[in-house]
Chains A and B, each alone.
Chain A
Amino acid sequence: MSDQSSSRPSGFDRRAFMAGAAGSALMPMTARAAAQDASAPAAQDPSLPVEVTLRVNGKDKRLRIDARTTVLDALRDHLKLTGSKKGCDHGQCGACTVLIDDRRVVSCLTLALAAEGQEITTIEGLATDDRLHPMQQAFVDNDAFQCGYCTPGQIMSAVACVKEGHAGNEADIREYMSGNICRCAAYPNIVAAVKQAAPEIMKG
C-alpha cells in the first residue's frame, strides 16, 4: 500500500512544455496586444478576459476571450465556425488545420492572441459564391473521406501543400500530407484528390 497525493492532470506535462516552447514566439505578441489596448486588464490579472480582433475569412471579428484561448477554440466556441475540428488539441492530428497568412498551422497550438493582425482562412472561407474550391471538388470526386471529421483539416492542409510546391508527385503528396491523420484511412483517395486539384490551383 502506498499513499499518493497527486491529481492526474491530463496533459499537464505537455501543457507545461507547450507554454515553455511557445513562450518565446508568443509572449511578445501577447504583450503587444495588451499594450495596444490600455483598457485590456490582462496585465493586472491573467485570468480576466482580454480583447482581441481576429481577421477570419476576410472579416474582422472582435472577441473578449480568456488569454489562453487557442485559435481553434476561438473559432469553434466563440465565432461559431465549427468547420475546424479538434482531434487531439496537441498538434498531433491536423484536424484543426487552418491557414494563417497562407501558411498551414495547427490552430490548437496557436493562441488566438498570437494570430491578431494575421489573415486566418478556415474551411468555411474556401468556397466562393457557393462554388466549391477545386480542392473541395477534388475531395468529392475522389471520395477522399468517410466520416469527414478530418476532412476540413485535410483540405486546408492540401491547399497549402499544393501552394508550397509539395504536390509534384505522389510520394511528395504522401509525405507532405502526413501531418493530417485520417483514421478512416482515406489516404489513397486523398492523394488522388490533391493530384487532381493541384494543376488547377497552381493556375490560380
Chain B
Amino acid sequence: MTAAAPSPKANMGQPVPRYDAAAKVTGRATYASDMPLDNPAYAFLVTSAIAKGRIDRFDLDEAKGVRGVIEIVTHENAPKLKESKLFSNGGYAGTTIQPLKSADIAHDGEIIAVVVAESYEAAREAANRVKVSYTATAPSASFDSTGTTTAAAKGQNAQFKEDPAVGDFAKAFDAAEVKLTAAYDTPTQHHNPMELFSTSCAWMGDNLVIYEGSQFVYGLKHGVAEQLGIDADKVRVVNPYVGGGFGSRGSMTPRTAIIAGIAKRLGRPIKLVPTRDQGFTITTHRAETRQEIKLGANRDGKLLALRHEGAEVSSRADAYCVGGTKTTTRLYACPNVDSLVSIVRADRNTPGFMRSPPEVPYLFALESAMDELAVKLNMDPVELRRINDTNVEPIGGKPYTSRSLMACFDEAARAFGWAQRSPQPKSMSDGDWLIGYGCAATCYPTQMGPSAARVRVQRDGRTRVEIAGHEIGTGAYTVIAQTAAERLGVPLEKVAVFMGDSDLPPAPVAGGSNSTASTCSAVMMVCDQIRQRLFKAAMPAQSLTDRAKETVGLGQTPATQAAKGDRPLDIEKAFDALGVGVVEEYGEWKPEGAPLDSFRAMHNGQVRLVGGHAMKDQIAYAFGAEFVEVRVNRFTHEIRCPRLVGAFAAGRIMNPRTARSQLMGGLIWGMSSALLEGTEIDERNARYVNDNLADYLVPVNADVAGVEVILLSEQDDRINPVGVKGLGELANVGTNAAICNAIHHATGQRIRKLPVRLENIEV
C-alpha cells in the first residue's frame, strides 16, 4: 500500500484506485473542449476595457476583413435571450448581468462581442481587431472606493434570512474580564480550475447539446432552456469529466446561452475556449471581505460574549453574500452572541461560491481571534478550544449530530508534535529561520440534496449505475461504484457508472460538499429496490424477512438461510424466476426535512440542499483540526510552510484514498489562501490586474513539502442513510488562520490581512 491509500479504520470503505484512473492517465478522459464536433466554427470573446459606462460605437471593418471570419456578434445583433434569475432567488444564473443586451457596461471584462470564424487563429485575430469607443464613468472598485452603497444582507439576499444572535452581547462584553476586538481582511480570489471555461454548442434540429464543464448539469440545462425560451427537454448538457470546479461551475454564466444562440443562428456547432484572463471576469470569484470580531471571556477562558461582523463586496446588480456568521456564531459555546453581515455594492462582476464559501473568510477571522484571545489569557490555544467545546450550538440550542472537534485536535497535535512548542513568540528558531507553530479548527456543514438514480443489473452481475452526478476530481465515479458493488454484493469490476449528462436521472449540484452523501444515498436506495426484487423472485416469500431482503447483498447469504446451509442468492435463478434479461430500478431519494417541492425542483434543476444549521432539531457539521509549522527568514522575511497536519472526522469515509487526496488538496488550498492567493484590483479602473497564472499565485510543487492527513473514525447515523458528512470543503478552512497564528508565534507579529507576503513581515 502506498501513502496514498491509507488502511481503512472503522466505518471506512476500501481505498480502491479511482474508477477513472486509467482514462485520466492515458488522456482518454474527455473534458468539454475535447468533445468531437462536426465542422465546428470557433468563437473568441471580446471583453470590456472599462468597468462602467456605455459602448458608443463598434468599428468592425478591420475585424471583418480577417480571412475566415463568419460573424461578429455585439449587442446590436445578438440573439435575444430571456433573463434568468439569480440561483438564490429561484433561478439558475450566477449573475443577472446579461452581456450583449444593451450598450451598457456593468463591469470590467464583461463580454461585449463574440467573433466567430473558421479557425481559432482567425477568430482571435479578428477579436483583437475589434475597435470599441466607450463613454466611461469612474467606477467604484471595492471597499474604499467612493460611490459604493452598503446595506445589511438581511432583506436583500433571499438566502440570508437572519443575523444570528442570542443573549445580550453588549452587556456581557462590557462585563467580561478579558476582551479582544480585532479586524480582519480577506482578498478577492479566483477559482482558476485548470480547465478553461470552455463551451461547445451543437444543434440537431431543435435539440441542443452543450459540452461544458459544469458542477450542475440539470441547472445548466434548465437555465439555458429558459434563456433561449425553449423546452428544457430539448437541451442536453454533457460533461463526463470536469477539469476542476471549486464552485466556479456551479451556476450558469451568461456565455452558454449566448454561444447556443449564435450556433443556432449559424446552423453550425460552435466551440468557445475563453482565455485564462477572460475567465477572471466571465465567471464568479470569492469576494473580498472586511470583518470585525469582539470576544469577551472569563480569566479561565470561558467565552461570555462574541460578536462577528462581516462586509462583503458584490455587484450593483446582485446581492450575493456568503454570510459565514451562520457558522462562526455556532462553533463554540457562548451565551451572548451578536452578528451582522452587510453587502457593499460596487461596479464589479457578481461574486459566487468558491470552495467553502462562507467558512474560508469567516473562520479566518474567528480562528485568528481565538488565537489572539489565547495569547491574552496566556493559555494554550488548544485548551481554549477545549474549554469552549460544546455539543449544543448556542444560537438555537440544537445538538450536533456528532462532533469530534477535540478528538481531531488531540490526534493532530500528537502527530504534529505540538507538545514540543515553546509558547513564547519568537522563542523557536533554526539558524536564520524563525520557527512558528500554529493551529486552528475547521468545520463544514453537512449538506444533502434530493437525488435520483437508475441501476440496472444483468444475469452475469454486470451492473450499470446512471446518475447525473459530476466528477470534478472528488472521486464521485469511484464512491458511487463502490456503493453499488457493496450494496448489491457484486464485484467492483462489474460496475459501470455513467455521470455528467443531463439525460440521466437528476443529482444535486456538486457543491456544498453534498455530492457523496446525496448520490450514494440514492444509489444505495435503488440497489435495495433491485435486491428486493431479486430476493422476492428467488426465495419463497416466508423464507426471508423483508429486512433481510433490504440489507443482504446478492453475493451474501442471509443469516437465516446460512443456518439452513443455503448459498448466496443465485442471481441467474432469480432472473429466470422473473423471466427477464435485466433488472432495472429507478428511484428518488430525498433527505429528511427536505421541502415538499424537492423532487419537482430536482427535475427542474433547482437546488434544495438541507443540513448544516438549518435542520429542524439538530445541527450537522464535519470537523477537523489543523496544525502548521511556518519558517520565516529573519533577514529576507521569506515565509515557508514545511508542515501541514490535519485530522478530520466526517462520518463514514467511503474511500480513504480519494478522501485523503481531497483533504490533502484542501490543506494546500488553505496554505495558498494564507500565503499566495489574492486577486489585485486596480482601484481606478475596477479591474483585476493579475489575471493570469503567472501573476495570480497558486501553489506549485516546490511550495509544498510535508502534508499529513489523518482520518478519524466517526459514525453518525443521524445525518443520512450512508452516514457521510462530506469533506471536499473541510480541509481548506481554518488553515489561513493556523498559518497566521504560526507566523505570530514565529515573529510576534499578528497579521490580520490576507494573503501574507514577505513584504508584510516586520521582524
In the assembled complex, the Cα of A85 lies from the Cα of B29 at a distance in Å of 11
**Min CB distance, A38 to chain B, in Å?**
22
Quick check: B275 and A89 within 8 Å, CB to CB? Answer: yes
Complexed CA–CA distance, A149 and B198 (Å): 13
* CA gap between A140 and B3 in the complex, in Å: 13
Q: Measured between C-beta atoms, what is the minimum distance from B268 to chain A in Å?
A: 15
Would you list which residues of chain B between 1 and 51 have a CB under 8 Å from chain A? Answer: 2-5, 17-18, 20-31, 33-34, 36, 45-50
Contact A127 B136 (CB under 8 A): no
Residues of A30-88 contacting chain B, CB below 8 A: 47-48, 66, 68-69, 73, 76-77, 80-88
Known: A76-B33, A148-B24, A174-B701. 5 other contacts (CB 8 A): A47-B66, A87-B276, A147-B245, A149-B31, A185-B669
Q: Which of B477-511 contact A (CB under 8 A)?
A: none
Quick one: closest B residue to A127, CB to CB?
A: B26
A181 CB contact (under 8 Å) in B2, B665, B669, B700: B700
Instruction: Given A4-B134, A82-B34, answer yes or no on A66-B4 (Cβ-Cβ < 8 Å).
Output: no
- List A contacts of B194 (CB < 8 A): 85, 87, 93, 95, 147, 149-150, 181-184
Chain A residues touching B, range: 35 or more
Q: Are A11 and B67 in contact (CB under 8 A)?
A: no
Assess the A9–B668 pair: CB atoms within 8 A. Answer: no
A183 touches B192 (CB 8 A): yes
**For residue B23, which residues in chain A have a CB less than 8 angstroms away from its CB?**
148
- Which residues of the partner chain A approach B22 to less than 8 Å between Cβ atoms? 132, 140
* Pairs A-B, 9 closest by C-beta atoms: A83-B27, A149-B243, A147-B473, A146-B473, A148-B24, A82-B34, A8-B49, A185-B668, A9-B128
Q: A4-B133, A87-B693, A149-B244 are in contact. Are A174 and B702 (CB under 8 A)?
A: yes
Q: Would A190 and B701 count as touching, CB distance under 8 A? A: yes
Number of interface residues of B (CB under 8 A): 92
29 example contacts (A-B, Cβ-Cβ < 8 A) are as follows A4-B49, A7-B130, A8-B48, A8-B109, A12-B128, A47-B68, A83-B26, A88-B276, A93-B693, A122-B27, A132-B22, A136-B25, A140-B21, A140-B22, A141-B4, A143-B4, A143-B21, A143-B660, A144-B4, A145-B473, A146-B473, A148-B243, A155-B25, A174-B701, A184-B473, A185-B668, A187-B668, A187-B699, A189-B4
User: CA of A48 to CA of B48 in the docked complex: distance in angstroms?
Assistant: 30
Chain A residue contacts of B121, Cβ below 8 A: 66, 68-69, 73
B423 at the interface (CB under 8 A from A): no
**A contacts, CB < 8 Å to B:** 1-12, 15, 47-48, 66, 68-69, 73, 76-77, 80-90, 92-93, 95, 122-124, 126-127, 132, 136-137, 139-152, 155, 173-175, 177-192, 196
The reply on B379 being an interface residue by CB < 8 A is no
- With beta carbons under 8 angstroms apart, the residue of B127, B131, B662, B701 that contacts A178 is B701
B119 & A90 in contact (Cβ 8 Å cutoff):
no
A4 contact from B30, B136, B193, B692, Cβ within 8 A: B136
B273 at interface, CB cutoff 8 A: yes
Residue contact B50 to A4, C-beta cutoff 8 Å: yes
Q: Are A124 and B26 interface neighbours, CB within 8 A?
A: yes
Residue of B nearest to A47 (CB): B67
Closest to A8 in B: B49
Task: Provide the bound-state CA to CA distance between A175 and B705, in Å.
Answer: 11
Q: Which chain B residues border A127 with CB–CB below 8 Å? A: 26
| Given A174-B701, A181-B698, A186-B665, CB of A7 within 8 Å of CB of B136 | no
The number of A-B residue pairs with CB atoms under 8 Å apart is 246
* Chain B residues, CB < 8 A from A137: 25
Q: B270 at the A/B interface (Cβ < 8 Å)?
A: no
Cα distance, A173 to B669, chains bound together (Å): 21
Which of B33, B119, B657 lies in contact with A66, CB distance below 8 A? B119
B18 touches A143 (CB 8 A): yes
Report whether B661 and A189 are in contact in the complex, using a CB–CB cutoff of 8 Å: yes
Interface pair B128/A3, CB less than 8 Å apart: no
Measured between alpha carbons, how far is A25 from B396 in the docked complex, in Å?
A: 69
- Knowing A9-B128, A147-B243, say if A92 contacts B692 (CB, 8 Å): yes
A3-B701 contact given A124-B27, A143-B658, A183-B194, CB 8 Å threshold: no
Which residues of chain B are near A173, meaning CB under 8 Å? 701
Q: How far is the CA of A187 from the CA of B275 in the complex (A)?
A: 25
Task: Judge if B664 is at the interface, Cβ distance under 8 Å.
Answer: yes
Contact assessment for A142 and B701 in the assembled complex, using a CB-CB cutoff below 8 Å = no
B27 touches A152 (CB 8 A): yes
**Which residues from A are CB-within-8-Å of B693?**
87-88, 90, 92-93, 181
Q: How far is the CA of A48 from the CA of B66 in the complex (A)?
A: 11
CB-contact partner of B24 in A145, A179, A192, under 8 A: A145
Q: Are A132 and B25 also in contact (CB < 8 A) when A87-B195, A89-B275 are?
A: yes
Cα distance A4–B56 in the bound complex, in angstroms: 10
| Chain A residues positioned under 8 Å from B134 (CB to CB) | 3-5
Contact of B17 (CB < 8 Å), options: A68, A93, A141: A141
Q: Are B49 and A7 in contact (CB under 8 A)?
A: yes
- Is B424 among interface residues, defined by CB-CB distance under 8 A? no
A85: which of B195, B245, B472, B669 is its contact (CB, 8 Å)? B195
Checking A7, A9, A90, A190 against B692 with a beta-carbon cut-off of 8 angstroms, the contacting residue is A90
Q: B246 interface residue, CB < 8 Å from A?
A: yes
A15 CA / B20 CA spacing, docked (Å) = 36
Most buried by A among B276, B703, B705: B276
* Interchain CB contact (< 8 A) of A151 among B24, B196, B242, B276: B24
Residues of A within 8 A of B669 (CB): 185
Min CB distance B633 to A, Å, is 18
Q: Which of B26, B128, B694 contacts A136 (CB 8 A)?
A: B26
- Determine how close the nearest CB of chain B comes to the CB of A92; give it in whole angstroms: 4
- What is the CA–CA distance of A18 and B29 in the complex, to the nearest angstrom? 31
- Chain A proximity mask over B184-195: 1 for CB below 8 Å, otherwise 0: 000000001111
B122 within 8 A of A: yes
| Cβ contact within 8 Å between A147 and B195 | yes
Interface string of B169-206 (1 = CB under 8 A from A): 00000000000000000000000111110000000000
Tell me if B120 is interfacial: C-beta within 8 Å of chain A: yes
Q: Taking the complex as formed, is B356 at the interface, i.e. its CB lies under 8 A from any CB of chain A?
A: no
